[in-house]
Amino acid sequence: LVMVFYGSNGKSNPVSMENKVEHQAKNQITHDIYLPSDLGMLYKVRLGLQSLESSTSQLFLCHLKMQNTSTLDTFSLTINKTLPLSLNGDRWVEFPVEWPLKEALSVVTYHLTVFSRNILSERILVHMTACIYGAHGDTGDRSLLWSLQNVQQREDNESFLVMVEAVELGELDKVVLLISSKTDCKLDIKKLHLKEALKEYPIYVFEVNEAFYVEENKPEIEKEIPVSFVIRGDKQKNDLDNNFHREGGQAGNLTEYTIKVYTGDQRGSGTDANVHIILFGNEDKSEAFQLSQSLEHQDPFERGKVDTFKVKTKNVGSLHSIEIGHDGKGF
């Protein structure tokens, strides 16, 4: 059993729960923990198993009480969870540290969708974890292939959803993947989508577009993926305008683009999904815009139709490419 502490001055290394105090009550274990540096005001603790081995037995956590022996600050929490979590095989639980007269962070569930080409066919032999980083720390390494939701497979294209429960991270920054395998294989990962389960937006998009060649019994591959862009839905334009006002920009600094989308007339060509576009120029790239308000049709992207959209963005220079995609929802 290990713990990781997060404070205003940083986070601790995993602390092993080895130093037991004698004269313990039944079903209660007391540990002395020594931190090598002052972490400042604690705001989050992660508690879990050092690793998930085949011989690992389940551990039921009922209640946690922490006390700073110098200041006598005391924190108490009812947990009532079993590790590893049976629903998704997660070996960690996180909880915020609550201080009087100070608003604590919340525990949220993140939906991490992985878009790939061949991971599902190799999942039995592959071990892959993701550590999500944000303004309020990180999630630690979480397994991606233990319990999958919303699995979709097509020829040369697949996606699956993983749920991660953690103390809210705030604005997301990057994801670090760790990949290892029991046999030689190649994993082709396209991108990651990440959002809070109870919110439709924002969706953080992490572009990968890389094939990983994993060798048997070789050190695991570590890949750091910074956020590529953020889809903020219908509020995108307002967010962009607000950014310009905060930075002292004027409406005249925005460039308006007219975008025409021609939907094919073959069966199944239309979509009800949320479609986004990003403009790339020789000086910069735009934010991700959701194409939702067609000038011609109330329901855009119907089979055989043409939709026109107008977007305003900062000056990106001479356009050389675009990215257009959707979130796969609807039909």
> In this predicted structure, what is the pLDDT of residue 84?
61
Separation between Cα atoms, residue 219 and residue 216, nearest integer Å:
9
Residue type, 217: N
pLDDT attached to residue 272: 81
**239 token code pair:** 């967010």
**Residues in the chain with pLDDT values less than 70:** 18-27, 51-58, 83-89, 233-252, 329-331
Task: State the pTM of this model.
Answer: 0.68
Bridge partners, residue 186, by sequence? 213
The sheet carrying 319-326 orders its strands as 289-290, 275-281, 319-326
90 with 165: CB under 8 angstroms? yes
Residue 236 is predicted with a pLDDT of 47
- The pLDDT value recorded for residue 164 is 92
Query: What integer pLDDT is reported at residue 23 of this predicted model?
Result: 53
Domains and CATH numbers, the chain: 2-102 (2.60.60.20), 108-230 (2.60.60.20), 232-326 (2.60.60.20)
At 64 the pLDDT is 79
pLDDT value of residue 174: 96
